[in-house]
C-alpha cells in the first residue's frame, strides 16, 4: 500500500507542479482505494498533458523546491520507471520496461542521482553483467536487485 500511495502521489504531484498547481500532501495525493489502475491511468495522462503544456523551459516545484523543468521531468521519468519495476516485481507481473525507456531513464539518472542518492535514501548501485537488459541496468543503478 505504501508503494502504491508513494508511486501514485509522485505522479500526481509531478503533474500538479508542471501545471503550476499547489502540491498535495503525500498521504492525500493518491489515497489507495478502488480502481487503482483507472485512477493511475487518469493521473498519468493528466501529468503527461501538464508536461506537454509546460515544456522544458523555466522552473517548476514538484516537491523539492523550485528547479529547472528539465531536471524535474528527469526525476519524474526515473522515479516512475523505477517504481513501475518495483510494482511489477511486487505483484508478479512482467518487469521489463521498453528498452528505450529504461535506457533513457538510466542515462538521465546519471545526471542527478549521484547528487541525491544518500539524501533521498537510494541504495548504492548493484553490480550487473555488461549484457544485462536496460531495465536490469536501470534498477541495479537505483539500488535494486534485478
Residue 32 confidence (pLDDT):
79
Give tens-digit pLDDT for 71-126: 999 999 999 999 999 999 999 999 999 999 999 999 999 999 999 999 989 999 99
Average pLDDT, stretch 28-54?
Answer: 90
- CA dist 82 and 35 (Å) reads 22
Mean pLDDT for the chain overall: 93
Amino acid at each position: 500500500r505504501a508503494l502504491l500511495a508513494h508511486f501514485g502521489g509522485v505522479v500526481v504531484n509531478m503533474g500538479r507542479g508542471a501545471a503550476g498547481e499547489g502540491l498535495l500532501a503525500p498521504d492525500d495525493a493518491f489515497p489507495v482505494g478502488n480502481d487503482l489502475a483507472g485512477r493511475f491511468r487518469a493521473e498519468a495522462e493528466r501529468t503527461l498533458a501538464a508536461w506537454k503544456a509546460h515544456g522544458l523551459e523555466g522552473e517548476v516545484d514538484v516537491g523539492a523546491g523550485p528547479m529547472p523543468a528539465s531536471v524535474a521531468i528527469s526525476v519524474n521519468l526515473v522515479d516512475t520507471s523505477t517504481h513501475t519495476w518495483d510494482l511489477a516485481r511486487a505483484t508478479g507481473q512482467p518487469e521489463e520496461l521498453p528498452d528505450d525507456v529504461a535506457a533513457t531513464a538510466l542515462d538521465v539518472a546519471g545526471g542527478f542521482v549521484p547528487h541525491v542518492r544518500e539524501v533521498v535514501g537510494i541504495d548504492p548501485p548493484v553490480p550487473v553483467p555488461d549484457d544485462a537488459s536496460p531495465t536490469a541496468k536501470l534498477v541495479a543503478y537505483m539500488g535494486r536487485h534485478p
